[in-house]
Amino acid sequence: MKTIIHLDGFICIDEFSGKYRYTAIKMDEYGDVTVCPFKRTLEVDIPDDFNPVLAKVAAIDEQIEVVRAKANNDLARLNDAKARLLCLENGAAT
């Protein structure tokens, strides 16, 4: 299915690599230098069987893994702190 997409953003250059890129917002505060505004209209061909739900589910699964990893790290840190306190309470040397 043919779809019209309107791009309205900026061409920026990374001050370290010197590479140009398109961004939706000005990136000056993130180390890029805004070169000029950029507006284009493109016609793209989206596959008829494209299902955005699958892409969204995959993105959510990635977020779940990030949260799970952080939670596991936090739990390990808390369990370690608890164990150290219990060792002190029982007179064990740490």
Q: What is the pLDDT along the chain (94 residues), one digit of tens a residue?
A: 899 999 999 999 988 888 999 999 988 888 889 999 999 999 999 988 888 999 899 999 999 999 999 999 999 999 999 999 998 777 765 5
What's the one-letter identity of residue 69? Answer: A
| Residue 93: predicted pLDDT | 58
Find all residues with CB under 8 Å of 38, minimum gap 6, and list them. 7, 8, 9, 10, 11, 22
Domain range summary for the chain, segments of one domain joined by +: 1-49, 51-94
Check: pTM over 0.85? Answer yes or no.
no
Distance from C-alpha of 22 to C-alpha of 35, rounded to nearest angstrom: 10
